[in-house]
Amino acid sequence: MNLILLGPPGAGKGTQAKRIVEAFKLVQLSTGDMLRAEVAKRSEIGRQAAAIMKAGLLVPDEMIDNLMDSRLDQEDCRNGFILDGFPRTLPQAAALDGMLTKKNMALDAVLPIQVDDEAMVQRISGRYTCAKCGEGYHDTFKRPKVAGVCDVCGAHEFTRRDDDKAETVRARLKAYHAQTEPIISYYRKRGIVHNIDGMLSIDGVTEQVMAALKEHVGAA
């Protein structure tokens, strides 16, 4: 099963992707994570992307298309993947079609997670992750069971993203509405779009996602 999770910053793409990975043994391909890894290792791509990401803008299509094209060639993608953060522009969607045709792959479902902009600013500014295993938390909505200790790996160190400040989140939301939202109608014509209400609880959103996937691909 090959999926796309769409939605503005904070919609819960990463949160839901991890649950889908667990349920269906797919691989999560997050272009945001790929870019942050490039920034951390100070590669040429990372140097170019850092300032753009910090401003809440989108990096050039060609840079992302190349990253995704080589990532999709890796063996683990053959068992199915979830695209989280890609495509994000109509040219990226067209480039993805070309890549999938060339690799003899196809998309099964596109899940746009729909949310309210102002709620997203609150969600994102409260977000943090475990510095060791990457498990995501939130100051209000998802606290570790024991304060200051990661539920998954027991680490005590947590990090917050550079682009999670309220003013940058507003720039990211603007980029989403202008450049990413039109992709939904691009895929709707193919009959593979399932709208997801992202304003429900995390578990409520997961229930909708699982129902949409079962209905669409008949997966148990």
Binding site for ligand AP5 (CB under 6 A): 7, 9-15, 31-32, 35, 52-53, 56-59, 64, 85-86, 88, 92, 123-124, 127, 136, 138, 141-142, 163, 172, 198, 200-202, 205
123 is catalytic: no
CA-based nearest residue to 64, from 32, 98, 106, 105:
32
- Is 172 considered catalytic here? yes
Catalytic residue among 102, 160, 188, 214: 160
Q: How far is the CB of 113 from ligand AP5 (least distance, A)?
A: 7
> CB-wise, 2 or 15, nearer to ligand AP5?
15
Indicate which residue of 13, 36, 71, 123 is catalytic. 13
Question: Whose Cβ is closer to ligand AP5: residue 28's or residue 193's?
Answer: 28
What is the smallest separation between the CB atom of 11 and ligand AP5, expressed in angstroms?
4
Distance CA 176, CA 11 (A): 11
| In the complex, least distance from residue 191 CB atom to ligand AP5, rounded to whole angstroms | 24
State the residue number with the nearest CB to ligand AP5: 32
For ligand AP5, give the closer residue by CB, 14 or 112: 14
Cβ at position 68, least distance to ligand AP5 in Å: 8
Q: How many CB atoms lie within 10 A of CB 125?
A: 16
Residue 108 or 136: the one with the smaller Cβ distance to ligand AP5 is: 136
Residue 160 falls in the annotated catalytic set: yes
Between 181 and 191, name the residue whose CB sits nearer to ligand AP5: 181
Do residues 135 and 152 lie in contact, with contact meaning Cβ atoms separated by under 8 Å?
yes
- Of 36, 71, 88, 123, the active-site residue reads 88
Active site residue 41: no
Q: What single-letter amino acid sits at 108?
A: D
Query: What is the DSSP pairing of strand 127-130 with strand 136-138?
Result: antiparallel
Residues 6+ away with beta carbon under 8 Å from 98: none
Buried-state track 94-121, b at ≥16 Cβ within 10 A, e below 16: ebbeebeeeeeeebebbbbbebeeeebb
The DSSP letter of residue 107 is -
Q: What is the chain's length?
A: 220
User: Tokens at residue 133, please?
Assistant: 């295993």
Q: How far is the CB of 218 from ligand AP5 (least distance, A)?
A: 26
User: In Å, how far are 89, 95, 182, 186, 196 from 92, measured between CA atoms?
Assistant: 5, 5, 12, 12, 22
In the annotation, is 88 catalytic?
yes
- Catalytic positions are 13, 88, 127, 160, 172
